Structure 1
């Protein structure tokens, strides 16, 4: 939850209000409890410091060096409208300054450490039994990334990680800072659309697209509007549901990107069990779960980017504030052309009314 101002409530008082809320609303999620109590999720977790909630040192290289030893875990990344859960084993991470990569067959991450600030080891009871997790938060106390122990997790390695990284002072006080306000986008007319489209035409790699946006000082969905009819097409707001159902029916392997300012988490492979529950559109597979607030979908775009491997097509989803919810690609690796089955799937998605 973004903070209007840094809040450091007394931990004992907050802890009691949290306990009262959980008694009144059994099963309430911590994120929702924090919002109801008008505090950050990190402050909520810190209020419960005990033998079961432990503050860890923000030693990010040390953390990632230990994660592969845990064995199978569940990695969770979310933003305001989408939750991405992937089970597997962390591979060794590599870092270039504050940017890191975990390139595993199961857990695939792009890491931006400038947004990482606090970390806790948490053990709590739920309807599913005891949940053990490592929870990372940014400077405003908003969750960045969480790692949950599974049946196949190495319990000794988990305990050793907590013991090695345990903070010497178990303080509930957090040096929170206000989440920076998002800069207002430039008006479309202030952007040189012809120059943007010329640079777009000359792309060689999908990774060059973010620098292109930065060069032209354009927001992603703003650039998509300016490129509509040439490189982009607006799709209906039901396109995500249709995409997932068609990928499941046709057994088309896809890539699902979900992120926040601190991390992007990627699933590559099939999606099988698609189910809608209330406002949530879900993928409920053994190793991959996706939970997307379909009622928050405001814009969906089919986007084509030239590369040395040919055109790469994505489906990109935004909420009403212009925040990216999720991005979908056909499964591919650099040096390989895009799957024709993926292109056919995307072409089958209906245009916006």
Structure 2
């Protein structure tokens, strides 16, 4: 989980608190970005938000761990930045195992963090949105290029003219749908999943609202614990999955098999070499099986939503481009119990 940095604000020493930055910031009534900005010392440097140039410099770091999270899920992938394509305010990183979708309009502040530790310095570049919430954190590893990190910190450092200001995003009410029948007709005619988001805009729907407009052939509510059951089944069956976790500014994707799945308190965790997932299933308010039409047949996903009806994670089966999804993935999802049913896989054993 997000434990690789422990910034604090004076008068406490920088490394004095064992609390996670998000937890400490909440206790102090700050955003995490404000917490970093108020630190007075060389351990934290606020960088100029020259976002495109910062992104383009990331490959120089070598092997890193990329962390993307929201309130419910933390997604960590070890890899190297490369194959970066920027187009206006959006970006794509497709350099397996690193797979990212970047929404740069929400990249508001950037910090270089270098924490002293008895095991050696812990270095990272951390990006936050306008509300001060983390977008992505790029953590250096033992084999990372420290000289490149220092060069980025030096290149983009500049004494800020004023303290960082943050502005919470306004609460967005659920979208008022247009004609559900017209949406269902368009949806049924969809040939590519990338048509889905523009379709939502045309029909005045958000993603969660679209599920209410779909018919039973395309959406099925799942019982609590769906993600835990899915991960255990995929691990036991050796079924490759795709796991998407995102926030306003970034979506990070893992593709592959999961093997080590462990529950720790409220968290269900995947703890595999090169990939960690930490999911607060108690904060998942709703889960759904969703089947989207494509030219290659129905594409099945499991979608998790929080109490605010925001999408926090998605799971797909791994598939080759322009090929149908594997039947074993469709069978796995079909085996997940419907909402209101009890999944025997999640019951305590005598």
Following superposition, the deviation at residue 183 of structure 1 comes to: 2.0
The structure 1 residue matched to 2:140, chosen from 149, 155, 168, is 149
Following superposition, the deviation at residue 104 of structure 1 comes to: 1.2
* Structure 2 residue ranges without an equivalent (≥5): 1-7, 341-350
Determine the C-alpha separation between the residues in 1 that align with 2:199 and 2:117. Answer: 46
**More deviation, 220-229/341-350:** 220-229
Q: Give the aligned length.
A: 333
Question: What are the Cα deviations for residues 233-258 of structure 1, in whole angstroms up to 9, with x where unaligned?
Answer: 11111110010001100111111111
Preserved CA contact (<8 Å) 2:15 2:116: no
Determine the C-alpha separation between the residues in 2 that align with 1:49 and 1:209. Answer: 46
Following superposition, the deviation at residue 311 of structure 1 comes to: 1.3
Structure 1 residues 186 and 108, CA, compared in 2 at 3 Å: closer, same or farther?
closer
Q: Aligned pair 1:16/2:16, yes or no?
A: no
Q: Tell me the residue number matched to 1:348.
A: 335
Determine the C-alpha separation between the residues in 2 that align with 1:182 and 1:304. Answer: 29
Question: What are the Cα deviations for residues 248-299 of structure 1, in whole angstroms up to 9, with x where unaligned?
Answer: 0011111111111111011011111001100011111110001111111111
Q: Which TM-score applies when normalising by structure 2?
A: 0.90
Following superposition, the deviation at residue 40 of structure 1 comes to: 1.2
Q: Tell me the residue number matched to 2:248.
A: 261
Following superposition, the deviation at residue 50 of structure 1 comes to: 2.5
Preserved CA contact (<8 Å) 2:9 2:40: no
Following superposition, the deviation at residue 172 of structure 1 comes to: 6.2
Following superposition, the deviation at residue 123 of structure 1 comes to: 1.3
The structure 1 residue matched to 2:157, chosen from 156, 166, 191, is 166
Equivalence map 1:127-206=2 (5 Å): 130-167=121-158, 169-170=159-160, 173-176=163-166, 178-186=167-175, 191-206=178-193
Preserved CA contact (<8 Å) 1:117 1:137: yes
Q: Tell me the residue number matched to 1:61.
A: 52
Structure 1 residues 92 and 286, CA, compared in 2 at 3 Å: closer, same or farther?
same
Determine the C-alpha separation between the residues in 2 that align with 1:129 and 1:322. Answer: 41
Equivalence map 1:1-353=2 (5 Å): 15-16=9-10, 19=12, 26-125=17-116, 130-167=121-158, 169-170=159-160, 173-176=163-166, 178-186=167-175, 191-353=178-340
Q: Tell me the residue number matched to 2:345.
A: none
Determine the C-alpha separation between the residues in 2 that align with 1:250 and 1:127. Answer: 41
Determine the C-alpha separation between the residues in 2 that align with 1:181 and 1:60. Answer: 24
Determine the C-alpha separation between the residues in 2 that align with 1:137 and 1:49. Answer: 19
Determine the C-alpha separation between the residues in 1 that align with 2:15 and 2:66. Answer: 25
* Structure 1 residue ranges without an equivalent (≥5): 1-13
Preserved CA contact (<8 Å) 1:46 1:172: no
Following superposition, the deviation at residue 129 of structure 1 comes to: 5.0
Determine the C-alpha separation between the residues in 1 that align with 2:22 and 2:204. Answer: 33
Following superposition, the deviation at residue 325 of structure 1 comes to: 1.4
Question: What are the Cα deviations for residues 18-57 of structure 1, in whole angstroms up to 9, with x where unaligned?
Answer: x28975xx41011111111001111110112432211212
Determine the C-alpha separation between the residues in 2 that align with 1:213 and 1:185. Answer: 13
Q: How big is the alpha-carbon RMSD for the aligned residues of Structure 1 and Structure 2?
A: 1.9
Following superposition, the deviation at residue 113 of structure 1 comes to: 0.7
Following superposition, the deviation at residue 175 of structure 1 comes to: 3.3
Following superposition, the deviation at residue 336 of structure 1 comes to: 2.2
Determine the C-alpha separation between the residues in 2 that align with 1:305 and 1:94. Answer: 27
